[in-house]
Structure 1
C-alpha cells in the first residue's frame, strides 16, 4: 500500500486508483465532508497525466467516443506493448515488474502482466508461490511452469489438484477394457489354434498418447522431479490405501498408471526425469515384452539382473533346508493368499513405535550427511514395493501368467521346474522359478506397500519361489497341458476317437488341481489363462469342436474352476471381484464359440461356462454384465422368447445391488471431458460399457436384447 502520513496527521495515498487500496482512498475522500473538492481530486488522480491527453480526449468526445472507452483502449494498447517487451527483460527487471504488478493480479484486465512476469522468472520467489497457492481460481490460470513450482513447495495442494485426474484414469474406456482383457500378453495363436480369440488392441505407446489423464499428469510433471515423485507416490497410495481386501481391476489400474506415466515421460523426451527413476529398467523390459507377447530369454536375463540385488540369499538358504518355502507367501489377512514376509523383522513388542521412529530418524539423518536421499535398506525396500506394483499392472500380470503357461506347454525336458537337488545355493533360478517369484511379488504388492508405509525401514526381500507352485502345482498343470497338446498337435486332423480316450484322463488330471486353485490366487492365474486358451477349441462347428482334445481340456478346466467358484461364493464372496477379468474374457470366448457354431444354448459347454460360471460372476463388474448381455445378443436366435427373458431377468436380479450402488455414487459424472474414439477406447471396437449402446444397469431397449422389455420384480433401471 502506498500510504503516507502528512504533516497534519492525515493518511495520503500516492498509488494508482485501482484495486482495494484505490477503493479505500476514494471512499475516504468522498467521506471527508467536501464532495466537490473530493470529486475534482479523484478525477485529477484518475486521469491521464500527459497534458496532451486531455485535448485528445476532448476531440474523441466530440466524435462520440466516451472518455471511459478511450481510457480502456489506452490501457489495452499499453498492455500489449508491455507484454511484447516482457520476453526480452532480464531476470532482475522481471522481478521488479512482478513486484509492481502483483498487487493488481486480482484485476482481470491487468492480470496478464503479472502472469507473464511469473512465466518468465526462473525461479519464482517462494513468497509469491505461497500467495498463489492460496487462490485456486488463480492457480488454474498460471503458466504450467509456475504451477509446477507451486506444486513443488505445497504437496497437499498437488495432491488435491492431481487426485481427480488420477482417480479418473481407471474409468477411461481403454483402461477398463485392458484391465479386464486376459488375452493381453498371450502369444499369437496360443497353445491351441482357436479362431477369433484376441481382440484388436493398439500398442501401449499409442494408448498412452490417447489417454487424457496421462496427458494431464505428464503436463503437470514437465521436467520437475519433485512433482513426478509426489505423483508416483500418490498413485501407489491410491492402490494400497483403499479399504478393499481384494484387488479389483479398477484398483489395479493405479499400478498401470504409475508405470505408464514413467514411460510417457520417456516417450515425450523428458529423459532426465525418467532416467532418475530406478524403476525405469523394469518398466522398459516389461513394456517391450508386452509388445512381443512373450518374455524372451533376453528379457528374463534383464529381469534377473534387476531383481537379484533385492533377494536375501541368507534367508533363502535357511528356508531351503525346511518346509518354510511351501507357503512362504500367504498373506495374513486373506486365507490362502501368498504372503510377502518381512525378512529378519523384529517380533511384535520387541521395539516400541517411538524407539523405532527415533531410530529411523537417526538413519535418515546419517544418510543425508552422506549425501543420500535415504538409507540404502529403506531405498531397497521402496524399490521392491514399487516393482511389485509395476508387476501388478493387469497387462503385466497376465503376461507373467501367459509366459508360465507357455513354458509349461514346452517340451517336458526343456524347462525344469527347479535346479537339481545337488546344485550350490547361489545357482540361478530356473525361468519358472523366476517367474514364480515375480508372480508372488505382484500378488503381494499391496501388503508390501502397506508394511513399508507403516515402517519404511522394514527389512524386506524378494520372496523365495513357492515350493507349492514349483514342486506340486506346476507338474500337475503341465500334465493337463501335455495331455491336451500331445493328443491334439497343431495341424493334426480332428479325431473324435483319439480324443475320447483323453477326456477321462484330462478330467482326472484337472481334478488334482482343485486344492491348489482353492487356496492360491497365484495358482489360479495360470489356470484361468490355460482354460481360456483351451476354449479356442470350441470356436468351430459342434462336431469338430467335440472331437478336439483342447475342447476336452477346456471342459475339464472349467469344471474344476466352477467348483472352486462355488466354494468361494459360499466362503469368501468378496474375493469374486478378482475373477472379473476371467469372466469378461470367457464371455467373449463363449460369444465367439456361439457365432462359430461350436456352442449352442443348452449344450454341456453352455451350461458349464455360461450357466455355471458367467451367471454367477455377472455382478462382479459392470463390464462383465455388458459382456454377458453380448453373449445373449448372439445366442438369442437359438432361444425361445421365454428362455431369453428368464436369462435377462436373472441378470437384472443378480446385478441389482451393484447397479444401485453405482447409481448412488453417480458413476459417469467424472467421465466428462474424456477423449472419445478409437484411441481412447484402446482399439476395442466394442468399446465396452462406456461406448456400447447396451449399457449395464439400463432396463428396456438400451439394456436388454431387442424385443425384450420385461423387468425383474423390484429391479430398477437407469443406473449406469
Structure 2
C-alpha cells in the first residue's frame, strides 16, 4: 500500500515536533534496516530517538513506567488505544453530508490512509471511509489494487470500489454468476418441465365440461340445433379422425387463462412439479393447498431468498444501479457467448439469475429494481409463475408491455427521420414508465409485491429492450409457463370454443413471447432486435394438429364412457345422459394401458404439405419442439398413452442427437420421472412401444444434457431392474441392464467431465464481501434438502452414487455386467 502525506506527529494540533512525519509500513521497515546497517548496535538508540513521541515529558514518563515494570511496548499500545478511541468517537460525530465535516473527514482520511496496512491502526481510516458518502477517487484506485485490504473494507466502500473498477467487479461477480447453475434448487426447478401442467389440467377440465354440455353433442357427433350448418373449410374438421364436418363456427367467449386452478387440477389427477416436492395431485408451485392435498412446493420467492448466489449478488448491488447493470451485463454476455448451436439448462441459468436477482431486489423494495427496463415484465411473469398460470390480467399486462416498446420504437424512428413533434421523451418511455398514472393491474398477486410501479428512463435504441426482455423470458420457469399456457388456451379457446389457433389473440401473443425468448441469443449476437411474429408453421399447422389430437382424445373418452354406462342413462333426461361425461371422464385413462401398446403408432397428418411444414418446424424451431414436448408430457399425465406415443415417436425421429444432448434436459428429466412411476407400478416395461420410443430412442441419448437428467434415467432403469416391494419380478435382466448402462456411460462423458471440474471448490469461499451468514441463505433454504450438495460432491462425477445402487440388482456381477463394474472400479475414491 502506498503511503499518504501527513503521517502521525503532534504537529497537527500545534504541539512540539510539528511537521515531522514518521515513515509507516514498508518505509518504516526500510528506515530501521538502514540505521542498523549503518551504525550497528549503536543504531538502536538512533531508531529510538527518531521514533520517540515529540513531547518533552515523554522520555521521563517512559522511564518512570519502566521502573513500574511496564514495558515500553505496553505503554505505547495503551497510549495508541486511548488516542484511537477518542479519535473514533469524534469521527462518529461527523457527517459526510455536511460540507465542513466532509472536509475534515477527507483530511483525516488523507492522513490516516497509510495505516490501512497495519492491523492496530486500520480502524481509523475504515471508520472515516464509512462516514464519507463518496471516497476520493485516488484512494479508490489504491484500494482496488490491494485485494487483501479490499476484503476488510465496509460493504459501502467495497461497492464504491466496484463502481470505480469494472474489472475488479467482473472478477468478483463472475465466479458467482457461473456457479449459479450448480445450485440444487436452481436446476431442479429448471428441469421441472411439468411444473405448470396442473393449470393445463384445469383448462382441460373446463373444456371437457363445456364440450359435454347438454346443448352440444360429444366431439365428432352431430351438433345441436345451432350447429347444423355446412362445414367450415377453415375449421378443425378433418384434421383429426374424430372431428367431423358440421362443426359450427367458433365462439368468441374469452375464458380465464388458468390462474387459481388448483382444485380442478387435483380433480384431474395431474401433479406437476414432482421434482420439487409436490408429492402428488395438485402439488407444485402455484397449485395452492387443496383439502387433503400436499402442501405447495418451493415458491420462487423462497428460492431466491434461499439462494446463496442470489443473496450474495444482491449484497454486491446494494443500492448501486451501476453495479446492478454490470452484473446484468455479465449475465447477458455469458448467455450470448455460450458455445454450441442449442441452448440448454446451463445457458438458461444466466437468464434465471437475471430474473431472480431483479425480483430479489423487488422483494426488498429496492429502488434499483424500479429502474430496470424489464421490471414490469419480470414482475408479471413472477406473479404468473406463483399463481400457476397466466390470468387475463397477466396477458393484458404482457401485451401492453411490448406495445409500449413498439410505440417508443416508432416514435424514435419518426424523430430520426425528421418527423412531427414527439409526444414523449427522447425516445419514448420504457415499458412501465407510466407508473404514476397507471398502477400495475395485479400487485397483490406477485410474491413480495412492493408499492412501486415499473421501470423508468429512456434509451437511444428502444428495440434494444427486446434483448433484455428475451433474456427474462428465457428463464426456464417462464418458458415452461408460456408453453403450458399455450396448451391451456388450446383446450379452452380452440377445442372447446371451436376456433382456430390463429383466431385467438392471446395465442399469438404467447407464441411471439416464446419466439422472442428463443431468438434472444441470436439478436444479442447480431445486435439486430425485433419483436418476432409467431412462426407460421407453428400457428397454422402444429397447433391445429395438436388440437385435432385433443379432439380425438375427447372422442375416445366419450366413447369409452358411453360404452361403460350409456345403457342405464337412456331416456333419463339431460342430466342423466351427461353423467358418463362427468368427473370419471376427466380422471380415467384414455385408451389402452402403456404396457399394452405394442404396435407402432404414427401421427395422422391431414396432408403431405402439413407434414412437411410441421417436421420442418420441429427441426428448426425450438418453440415447436417445446410445445410438442409439453404436449406429450401433458398427454402422459392425462393417461392418454396412445397420443403420447404418437408424438414421442415423431420427436424421436426428428430430434438430432446434438439437440437431445443439450436442449432436451428438462423434457428428458421430467419424462424419465413420469415413466419411472409407471414402471414401479408395473404398468410399463421393456418391449412396449412407449418404452421403445421414450427410453431407447430419447432418454438414453439425452443423458449428457445434465447430470440430473442422467440420474433420472438411471432411476428409471433401476426401477425396472429391481423387484417391487410386493414381490413382482424385475423387468430387466442383468445383461439387458448392462447394455443400457453401457450406453448411458458412453453418452454422458462430457457432462460427467464438466461436473468433475465444478466439484473443485465453492465460489462463495472466495467472495470478498463481508456479509452475514443470514444474508446469503443456507443449504436448507436454497435446496430444500440440507447437505445434499455436499453429498453429491462426494461422487466423482455427480452420478456415481446412483450407479452404486445397481449393485443391489439380483444376479448382477462383473461377469454379466462388466460395463457397470469397470466404471465403479475406475471412479472408486
TM tier, smaller = 0.7 to 0.9
Query: Secondary structure of the residue that 1:72 maps to in structure 2?
Result: helix
1:296-335 → structure 2 map (5 Å cutoff): 296-311=391-406
1:536 equivalent to 2:637? Answer: yes
Residue 74 (structure 1) aligns with: 79
- Conserved? CA contact 2:779–2:787, under 8 Å: no
Q: Distance in 1 between matches of 2:46 and 2:742?
A: 81
Whether 1:108 aligns to 2:93 is no
> Is 2:393 the partner of 1:273?
no
Residue 43 of structure 1: how far off its partner (Å): 1.4
Alignment of 1:446-457 (within 5 A): 446-452=521-527
CA–CA separation in structure 2 for the residues paired with 1:387 and 1:31: 68
| Structure 1 residue corresponding to 2:337, chosen from 241, 244, 262 | 241
Question: Could you report, residue by residue, the CA deviation over 1:290-345 in whole angstroms, capped at 9, with x for unpaired residues?
Answer: 01111111111001100113348999xxxxxxxxxxxxxxxxxxxxxxxxxxx99x
Give per-residue Cα distances to partners, 1:38-87, cap 9 Å, x unaligned: 53343134344556655665565456543223323432343344334322
Instruction: String of CA shifts for 1:587-626, please: whole Å, max 9, x gaps.
Output: 1111122233322344333233222221121222211111
Match of 1:397 in 2: 479
Decide whether aligned partners of structure 1 residues 483 and 671 sit closer, same or farther in structure 2, where only a CA change above 3 A counts. farther
The residue matched to 1:389 in structure 2 has which SS?
Answer: helix
Task: Find the aligned partners of 2:793 and 2:111 in 1 and give their Cα distance.
Answer: 56
Q: Secondary structure at the match of 1:142?
A: coil
- Return closer, same or farther for 1:309/1:475 CA change in 2, 3 Å cut-off: same
2:719 is matched with which residue: 634, 650, 665? 634
Once the 2 structures are TM-superposed, how far is the Cα of residue 678 of structure 1 from its aligned partner? 3.6
SS at match of 1:202: coil
1:462 aligns with 2:531: yes
Q: What is the deviation of 1:157?
A: 1.9
Question: 1:87, 1:120 within 8 Å by CA — same for their partners in 2?
Answer: yes
CA distance, structure 2, for counterparts of residue 252 and residue 296 of structure 1:
25
Counterpart for residue 325 of structure 1 = none
Residue equivalent to 1:221: 317
Please give the alpha-carbon distance, in whole angstroms, between the structure 2 residues aligned to 1:642 and 1:259.
47
For residues 168-214 of structure 1, give each alpha carbon's deviation from its aligned partner in whole angstroms, at most 9, with x where no partner exists.
Answer: 11111111111211123333573484455532231111111111111
When residues 18 and 306 of structure 1 are mapped into structure 2, their CA distance, relative to the original with a 3 A threshold, is same
Per mean C-alpha deviation after superposition, the further-off stretch among 471-480 and 693-702 is 693-702
More moved, 376-385 vs 476-485: 376-385
Query: Does residue 99 of structure 1 match 2:168?
Result: no
Q: Which runs of 5+ in 1 are unaligned?
A: 4-11, 316-342, 345-365, 421-428, 453-457, 538-547
Partner Cα distance (1:623, 1:686) in 2: 17
Contact 1:278-1:383 at 8 Å conserved across structures: yes
- The structure 1 residue matched to 2:627, chosen from 510, 515, 526, is 526
Distance in 2 (alpha carbons) for counterparts of 1:686 and 1:560: 41
Q: In structure 1, what is the equivalent of residue 819 of structure 2?
A: 712
* 1:211-262 deviation digits (Å, cap 9, x = unpaired): 1111111111111111111111111111102232211101111011111111
CA distance in 2, matches of 1:505, 1:407: 30
Distance in 1 (CA, whole Å) between partners of 2:269 and 2:299 is: 23
**In the TM superposition, what are the counterparts of 1:290-439 in structure 2 within 5 Å?**
290-311=385-406, 378-410=460-492, 412=495, 414=497, 416-417=499-500, 430-439=505-514
Q: 1:679 aligns with which of 777, 781, 803?
A: 781
**Matched positions, count:** 628
CA distance in 2, matches of 1:310, 1:602: 53
For 1:701 and 1:107, the matched residues in 2 are separated by 52
- Asked if the contact 2:191–2:665 (Cα under 8 Å) also holds between the matched residues in 1, the reply is yes
Please say which of residues 26-35 and 642-651 is displaced more in the overlay.
26-35
Q: Which residue of 1 aligns with 2:709?
A: 624
Assess if the C-alpha contact under 8 Å between 1:165 and 1:213 holds in 2.
Answer: yes
- Match in the other structure for 1:354: none
Equivalents in 2 of 1:287, 1:579: separation in Å? Answer: 24
Alignment partners' CA distance in 2, 1:613 and 1:53: 86
**Residue 238 of structure 2 aligns with which residue?**
none
- C-alpha distance in structure 2 between counterparts of 1:418 and 1:312, whole Å: 26
2:27 is aligned, of 21, 26, 50, to 21
- Tell me, yes or no, if the aligned pair for 1:208 and 1:264 is still in contact at 8 Å: yes
Distance 2:828 2:751 in 1: 9
1:657 & 1:152 partners in 2: Cα distance? 38
1:180 is the counterpart of 2:191: yes
The 5 Å alignment of 1:1-40 reads: 14-30=20-36, 36=42, 38-40=43-45
Tell me if structure 2 keeps the 8 A contact 1:532–1:586.
yes
Judged with a 3 Å threshold, the aligned counterparts in structure 2 of structure 1 residues 314 and 197 are, in CA distance, closer, same or farther, namely closer
Quote the offset at 1:148 in angstroms. 1.3
87-96 or 73-82: which moved more? 73-82
Distance 1:40 1:651 in 2: 78
Q: CA deviation at 1:696?
A: 5.0
Matched-pair contact (CA < 8 Å) for 1:697–1:717 = no
* Cα distance in structure 1, aligned partners of 2:364 and 2:328: 17
Q: CA deviation at 1:88?
A: 0.9
Q: Report deviation, 1:114.
A: 0.8
Does the 8 Å CA contact 1:531/1:554 hold for their aligned counterparts? yes
152, 167, 186: which one pairs with 2:163?
152
1:203 pairs, out of 271, 293, 299, with 299
Contact 1:626 1:689 (C-alpha < 8 Å) held by counterparts: no
Deviates more, 1:47-56 or 1:165-174: 47-56
1:499/1:230 CA distance change after superposition, 3 Å: closer
Q: Secondary structure at the match of 2:302?
A: helix
Q: Helix, strand or coil for the counterpart of 1:444?
A: helix
> Corresponding residue for 1:669?
761
Runs (5+) with no aligned partner, structure 2: 8-17, 95-100, 205-264, 278-296, 415-424, 430-455, 558-580, 723-729, 766-775
Kindly indicate whether the alpha-carbon contact (under 8 Å) linking 1:480 and 1:506 is maintained by their aligned counterparts in 2.
no
Residue 167 of structure 1, CA deviation: 1.0
Work out whether residues 306 and 780 of structure 2, in 8 Å CA contact, stay in contact via their aligned partners in 1.
no
- In the alignment, the residues of structure 2 paired with residue 256 and residue 163 of structure 1 have an alpha-carbon distance, to the nearest angstrom, of 15
Residue 178 of structure 2 is aligned with which of 154, 159, 167? Answer: 167
SS in 2 for 1:619: helix
Instruction: Give, in angstroms, the shift of residue 381 of structure 1.
Output: 2.1
Residue 395 of structure 1, CA deviation: 0.6
Report if aligned partners of 2:701, 2:744 keep a CA contact under 8 Å in 1.
Answer: no
Cα distance 1:418–1:657, how it changes in 2: closer, same or farther (>3 A)?
closer
Contact 1:94–1:121 (CA under 8 A) maintained in structure 2: yes
